Amino acid sequence: MVKRVVLALGVLVSLAVVPTTAQGANIHYWIGAVPTEWNVVPSGRDPVTGNTFLPTQTTMNTVVYKRFTRNWGQLMPNRFWVGDNDGIPGPTIRAREGDTVFVHFRNMDTMFGQSHSMHFHGFHYDFSSDGAFVPGVTGVAANVPVGRNVTYRLRARRGSVGVWPYHTHSPSMHMPESKTLYGMIVIRGRNERKPVRENIVVFSEHLGFQTINGRAFIGNTPTFRSRVGERVQWNVMAIGDSHHTYHLHGHRWRYANQNIDTRNVGPAESWKFRITEDEPGTWLYHCHVNFHMDAGMVGLYQVAGRSVSGTSGGFEGLLAGRP
């Protein structure tokens, strides 16, 4: 009897030691710095003004982050619009509070032959995984030569929940052809529910254009889609030298105890908000700095009604030029 009580107590004690929330997972990413040719205005036109551009004005050789399958098997497929593996922004790194993320990085920049790195906001990590070059102090992970691999170990803790940038922080971050080495981190709370849709908007500037996810003008920037009744999350971030004011037509959300429909985002700042969709339409989202909008920082958000027919109204024609 005594034995049984002791055993029961032992079970109770061991249960108490086990955390009440689920243990975090170990997540692995294989991400390379890959040279690529990038067209900022693949349609060659701004459908609002009718201005046209030649490919020679809108195309650059540059270096981007791309994700590979396990152990560098092959490039992960790209998905339309937000892509996730077309290069700008780089692949989205996802985790939940409690997870440990291993990012295996390989520098494949044979085009420019520069050393690169990855530096992550939001996560907790040891100094050796900082990925930021300090002369005479940091190791190879802060300045990875072409052909070399390193692994960054990142921990998502309670203070890590949110959306964050990652980018190169080797000396190459000061070179024009490496200004395209950036991407987004999305860390969910342990018990935070997934939104039905997630729209990623990264403001930056390339080749003199003001870009959203590396593209300029409607039909080149992402066209996001949703349906009335869906819970939609917008992740907004800026990279580069400018401050932007994200604005979404026909919608408003709560921030700092007030209703807003426009919010600032400066270099390396990032934030998210959620809305439950109730306004069908083909809405503009854009930076409200006027000359930024004029230079391409504008896109469409198409919200269909509950019926299948939706509200596309000539919208597909706008996108005809998109590859």
Please compute, for residue 299, the number of CA atoms within 13 A of its CA located in the half-sphere on the CB side.
24
Segment near Cu ion (CB under 5 A); pick from 20-28, 125-133, 159-167, 286-294:
286-294
Q: In whole angstroms, how close is the CB of 237 to Cu ion at the nearest point? A: 12
Tokens (6 digits) for 73: 């098997």
Q: What's the rounded Cα separation, in Å, for the pair 63 and 276? A: 37
Q: In whole angstroms, how close is the CB of 246 to Cu ion at the nearest point? A: 8
Q: In whole angstroms, how close is the CB of 297 to Cu ion at the nearest point? A: 5
Query: Is 219:43 a contact under the CB 8 Å cutoff?
Result: yes
The β-bridge partners of 272 are 235
Task: Tell whether residue 289 is a contact of Cu ion (CB under 5 A).
Answer: yes
Q: Which of residues 194-253 bind Cu ion (CB under 5 A)?
A: 244
Q: What's the rounded Cα separation, in Å, for the pair 275 and 233? A: 7
Segment near Cu ion (CB under 5 A); pick from 17-25, 246-254, 256-264, 282-290:
282-290
Please give the size of the binding site for Cu ion, defined by CB under 5 A.
Answer: 4
Give the residue from 103, 120, 110, 101 showing the smallest Cα distance to 68. Answer: 103
Nearer to Cu ion, 59 or 245 (CB): 245
228 phi, psi to nearest 5 deg: -55, 135
Nearer to Cu ion, 33 or 202 (CB): 202
Segment near Cu ion (CB under 5 A); pick from 53-61, 114-122, 214-222, 289-297:
289-297
Q: In whole angstroms, how close is the CB of 291 to Cu ion at the nearest point? A: 8
Q: In whole angstroms, how close is the CB of 283 to Cu ion at the nearest point? A: 18
Query: Is 118:179 a contact under the CB 8 Å cutoff?
Result: no
Looking at residue 176, the DSSP 8-state letter turns out to be G
Segment near Cu ion (CB under 5 A); pick from 120-128, 131-139, 288-296, 315-323:
288-296
Q: What's the rounded Cα separation, in Å, for the pair 188 and 190? A: 6
Q: In which element (H, E) is residue 226 found?
A: strand 223-227
| The binder of Cu ion chosen from 65, 292, 298, 301 (CB under 5 A) | 292
Segment near Cu ion (CB under 5 A); pick from 18-26, 145-153, 170-178, 279-287:
279-287
Q: In whole angstroms, how close is the CB of 298 to Cu ion at the nearest point? A: 10
Q: What's the rounded Cα separation, in Å, for the pair 82 and 322? A: 13
Q: In whole angstroms, how close is the CB of 289 to Cu ion at the nearest point? A: 4
Nearer to Cu ion, 236 or 287 (CB): 287
The β-bridge partners of 215 are 212
Task: Tell whether residue 287 is a contact of Cu ion (CB under 5 A).
Answer: yes
Query: Is 170:115 a contact under the CB 8 Å cutoff?
Result: yes
Please give the residue ranges that form the binding site for Cu ion (CB under 5 A). Answer: 244, 287, 289, 292
